[in-house]
Structure 1
């Protein structure tokens, strides 16, 4: 042993290294041909996992090991991790049932907040590692993989969330303002891909993400990074228009309010749509006005919130959505 190594650190920090704390995991899907008795046909079986002997102590090979909160199995199918995620979701549903009692229970709004803030992150922890490959197989040709069962089980747990509003399972998402489980998973994977590509050069994973971006043509043994970089890379096509092309919409901006009022009075269109975004008294909002034959038919407005959390640019996007509605 090297002087001043881990044993010295363990003595100074009142910690002890023991072989009983170690675990051995063989990550391999290699299969070998095994002969059978009574002249039966040989079968392909998984390669034998040998034990590890260190200083007279024998450590047996484990079927699965939990590392940084994620279960790794010897075949890297993540079945144990999927079962653990389903168990966490079932535990959350039981707790919500206890909290959502009619007499002495918590308000349904807070149950929804607890579901989004605690249950979903706890259930889908590390989804970019263990659920990315399942998601890839669901979108690919191998639709008979056991990973589909995991996603379906997670989706059924969401139906148990009807305790939040006491509504039917078919209209749960609309009433509780929740996304379907498939979109929840897709949103988490997209966030993970965005975080990966925005890492600085000093981050340890920067080189791995860059290699995954450069070598997206890998067909076999794709890692979760390969899938994330390939599935969530947006390709923006070129705008191919002729040199004499002109936009069909005329954009005009009045310099004063009187000039804008004059333009409105001179407008001859049968249907006119006006939208405005503003910041008044520290509050950000947007409003839309629909006129038909110079008669106001519909008015719609939304107040986003204070200027500390929202800006006028966000209000412009909301105004366009209101105009489309």
Structure 2
């Protein structure tokens, strides 16, 4: 720390009372000797046990207890505020309060989670670290669902469509590790990620990044796609346009009235756990000129059909580059089954699969000139009885089965290499595995048999979507009926709030919530 000079020396003060010092001694057995005081200009700098660095509290022993307490304190104040805007009988709807909890409370509670938290990797280990967070999670679930305080947590998580806290924290750590693995090579953390992956099997004094690389089954950082912050300058001119009809019927009629001689269609498909892409060129006047090109991407746990749609466009541009009809105006149309991919080709924001869109733009700039007609990306819905589009879908399925190649050579972009793993596919595969683990644990619960009376779907209840049109009071009553914890005499007697389990009207003995439903 140095004093300020020049103009800043006149307008700003160098206040020593704002300085603090924190000591991080080497871990050893026994008490730590007291450090000597630090004095500057006859002023002793205040010593503290913890310090905040980039929003994360560092304590002298790096036990992260101070950070956990700070995160829980921030989240507790927000969860307490949730009770002010929602009640079992009135307030914000279930869907809106779930969105508020996911977007505000969870980020506050899990900021910097991959640094100060390690997912429990033993059946019985690490449960105490999740306990305090789970208690706050339960308070939020009671506020979200409008259930009674005696309701069981696993049933509340099912109705709110929220993962148990242990799985939720594990998912956040996994997504954070993928984000680090997908950084560009010039990022300073990318080298640390590669080093952590090489030393992931080191169990002694391993940093958090090494530990997460060992716990999660992820490809090497070099095998994960790189997401660059900026692909093109703001004034980049896209050499193609899009044509997206309002609905499927309009798209069907427009394709039926298509009078082009040459049409090129591309599609992506999945079958038997594999993803593939294909492109077909159809000549109405001379079917002998028809061409096809196929490419297998790989396993679905590493790739997506959305990614296959982009590879189909790359194959189409390669086929167009080798085609004799490049200069004809009737070859500038690309029919795609995926409407979302057409929209994203005009968005230069960094996102997964950005390297495929960059390759599409590069090939377009290479093929077309200033006098060439612009390419037209048009939406042709699938499974509507259009023979030309169904032909591309059949070829895409053949590509997914491993039939790579065709009437033209593959583009240089796809030759002799495998595509990097998709970030979206890795996240989706891990989320699916978490749902299966949650479902298996819920199936072992002795409460499943009672809950299956009302909803046999278990964790796949989708209660938030089903009750979107209901009022807050109606939603709370349904949750109380499903959980069996409802202010009826049969349940009130269990919690010592009623002297009899009988119905006050018909005097039926032991009536249940099932009978009320």
Report the secondary structure of 1:119's partner residue: helix
Q: Structure 1 211/156 Cα, relative in aligned 2: closer, same or farther at 3 Å?
A: same
C-alpha distance 17-230 of structure 1, shift in aligned 2 (>3 A): farther
How much does 1:202 deviate?
1.6
How many residues align? The count is: 234
Aligned with 1:225 (options 204, 209, 219): 209
Unaligned runs of 5+ in 1: 33-43, 237-246, 248-254, 256-277, 287-313
| Structure 1 pair 7–229 and aligned structure 2 pair: CA distance change class (3 A) | farther
Matching residue within 165, 171, 181 for 1:187: 171
Look up the match of 2:56: 70
Asked if the contact 2:203–2:211 (Cα under 8 Å) also holds between the matched residues in 1, the reply is no
Shift of 1:235: 6.4
Within the candidate set 20, 24, 34, 1:27 is matched to: 24
Query: Larger strand proportion, structure 1 or 2?
Result: 1
Deviation at 1:48, TM superposition (A): 2.2
1:191-270 alignment runs, 5 A limit = 191-234=175-218
1:66 Cα deviation (Å)?
Answer: 1.4
Matched residue SS, 2:213: helix
Q: CA deviation at 1:117?
A: 0.3
Selected match of 1:151 from 130, 144, 148: 130
From the superposition, tell whether residues 279 and 141 of structure 1 become closer, same or farther in structure 2 (CA, over 3 Å).
closer
- The answer on 1:111 being equivalent to 2:109 is no
What is residue 122 of structure 1 aligned with on the other side?
108
Paired residue secondary structure (1:139): coil
Q: Which residue of 2 aligns with 1:170?
A: 154
**Cα drift, residue 9 of structure 1:** 7.3
Number of the residue aligned with 2:13: 16
Q: Offset at 1:57?
A: 2.0
**Residue 282 of structure 1: how far off its partner (Å):** 7.4
> What displacement does 1:11 show?
4.2
- How far is 1:285 from its partner? 9.5
Matches within 5 A, 1:293-312: none
CA contact (8 A) 1:100 1:108 kept: no
Q: Evaluate the alpha carbon distance shift between residue 179 and residue 150 of structure 1 in structure 2; reply closer, same or farther with a 3 A threshold.
A: same
- Aligned residue among 87, 103, 117 for 1:101: 87
Q: Which has the higher contact order (CA 8 A, sep 6+)?
A: 2
Q: CA-to-partner distance for each residue in 1:181-217, whole Å, 9 max, x for gaps?
A: 1111111100111011111122121222222122224
Assess, with a 3 A threshold, how the Cα gap between structure 1 residues 124 and 184 changes in structure 2: closer, same or farther: same
Whole-Å Cα distance in 2 between the matches of residues 47 and 98 of structure 1?
49
- Between the aligned partners of 1:9 and 1:80, the Cα distance in structure 2 is 39
Q: CA RMSD in A?
A: 3.8
Note the residue ranges of structure 2 that are not aligned, 5 or more in a row. Answer: 221-271, 273-279, 281-336, 340-377, 384-424, 433-459, 461-517
Contact 1:165–1:175 (CA<8 Å) still a contact in 2? yes
Which SS does the other structure have where 2:108 is aligned? helix
SS of 1:227's equivalent?
Answer: helix
- Distance verdict in 2 for CA 1:159–1:29, change over 3 Å: same
TM-score by length of 1: 0.61
Do the aligned partners of residues 284 and 74 (structure 1) sit closer, same or farther apart at CA in structure 2, a change above 3 Å counting?
farther
1:225 is displaced (CA, Å) by 1.2
After superposition, what is the alpha-carbon deviation per residue over 1:263-295, rounded to whole angstroms, capped at 9, x for unaligned?
xxxxxxxxxxxxxxx779979899xxxxxxxxx
